[in-house]
Amino acid sequence: MKHRSLLRIATFAVALIALAGCRDSGEEMEEARISTRVNLGDTVSETPLLPAKEMRAVWMATVYGIDWPNTLYTQAAQKRLYTKYLDSLKALNINTVFFQVRSMADAFYNSPYEPWSRFITGQVNKNPGYDVLKFLIDEAHKRCMSFHAWINPYRIATRSDNTKSFPALDSRIPKTLIKDYNKIRVFNPALPETRAYLDTIVKDLITKYNVDGIHMDDYFYPSLTSGESMNDDAEYKKYGGSFSDITNWRRENVNLMVQSLQKVIRETRREVVFSISPQGNVENDYNGQYADVAKWMSRGWLDVMIPQIYYPTGTASTNFNARLDWWSSHAYRCNLLIGYGVYRFDPNSTTAKFRTNAMLAEQFALAAKKKKVTGAVLYSTISLKNNKCDVKSVIRKQYAKKALIPFYGKYTQVKPSAPENVELVKGGTLCWDPVKDCYYAVYSSNGDHKTATLEAVTTSTSYALSREGKYFVTAVSKKDNAESAISTILLCKKADIPTGITEVRIDK
């Protein structure tokens, strides 16, 4: 570890540590150890248990600017809105963002295959003047939040009816791949070339950007207007092969797309989590969008399934309870998160149970009883901001304690080394040596073989303690969230905590 010139006097170093509990790279902490080393922390011999991990996420929709940038077309305003969102989410102990980076054959980054999204600047293919996606990812990672890139696989454009024209097709998009319907233009799901095109899009994205996941939403075969035909007899004749039923052939087209994307992700960056959020109504998935979600889960073609169970609780087979039971019992070879439609909670809702926040708490409790469920995704960010029916109070209570994100890889996880040289220095600051390519979890121990409490998640190699207790640290891989064994446990006494100082933490 490098040492800077020790020109600072010890008292200045102590004050700096106490007031700025998180520092980058550990260099200043090394100075502090040398200039203030008093071996304050007594070692504690016990084996605490780590708390359960949980993904707590939100969808951040960009189509039509719903959540972001919300008609804000200047760089400064966009950055301000996004960081404000992240800070408010982190305050709720939410640890993951599913951000829509491709909603209509467009891009929130400089893509060689598709135009800059018009939802960023108000104009199609206008360069916004900064690397939007890098900014979005970096800001999430600064806060130790995961960033999943949300894409729509097939949708290109929409219109009110077939008397209107679709927007001009970008010259980079092959015309041979498109299929037009009364209200929607899509990439033709029947074509092998469509699958190859989507593979190229995803490979380019995960190669150039440090996203933690690739996520698809609930648009597969298009939902058509009354009396409208899928108009795919010619493709069925050419590619249908041995399929005697055209509906099964359509399902196979979507199956092949899902399998192919998984293969690309695994071969390019296997740590990238692949997730899909179909409709909670499995019958409509199967018969309307030709998405055989049960097969995807049984074959392990994705890492995480996130059904959108946007229904009230009740006794009918279409209610939240029954949907939750079905998804929980069929998530054989993938992890399961539950998608909650917090946007539906409104005092003026036509559904009585959505007029207060009581049902959201009930649904969280029902999901918590399912062992397969490892988290939740909330739709959407602006709905949390608007906070109708005070849904935030339910979420704040549900997420009262912090949680780390689970390891979702379909390979044997390689845990990083535990942090070494954990020390308690004057000023009541816990500090440790850095572990390569990791962020850190700071815990307080509640006793031998008792579940510890996660106090903080940080990119720093120090943490300013605010109360007495027994503390330890783990390293968490930035690549896939694999967590190390625990460090040495140190006892922090009341006398070690300075009085009259307001705790300040600066994560870099």
Q: Could you tell me which residue, 23 or 119, shows the higher pLDDT?
A: 119
Q: Is the pLDDT of residue 31 over 70?
A: no
Q: Which amino acid is at 490?
A: L
CA distance 501 to 18: 8
| Partners of 279 in beta bridges | 308
CA distance 194 to 191: 5
Q: What string of DSSP letters covers 442-494?
A: EEEE-STTSB-EEEEEESSSEEE--S-EEEEEEEEETTT--B-----EEEE-G
pLDDT reported for residue 34: 43
CB atoms within 10 A of CB 338: 27
Which region, left, alpha or beta, applies to residue 269 given φ > 0 means left and ψ of -120 to 50 means alpha? Answer: beta
Q: Is the pLDDT of residue 11 over 70?
A: no
For residues 271-275, average pLDDT: 98
Residue pLDDT, tens place only, 303-317: 999 999 999 999 999
Residue pLDDT, tens place only, 361-372: 999 999 999 999
CA distance 418 to 476: 9
- Cβ burial 150-187 (10 Å sphere, 16+ → b, else e): bbbbbbbbbbeeeeeeeeeeeeebeeebbbebbbbbbb
Q: 300: which DSSP letter?
A: T
Residue pLDDT, tens place only, 187-243: 999 999 999 999 999 999 999 999 999 999 999 999 999 999 999 999 999 999 999
CA distance 446 to 47: 10
Structure tokens at 127: 């360069």
Window from 64-68, 141-145, 369-373, 501-505 with minimum mean pLDDT? 501-505
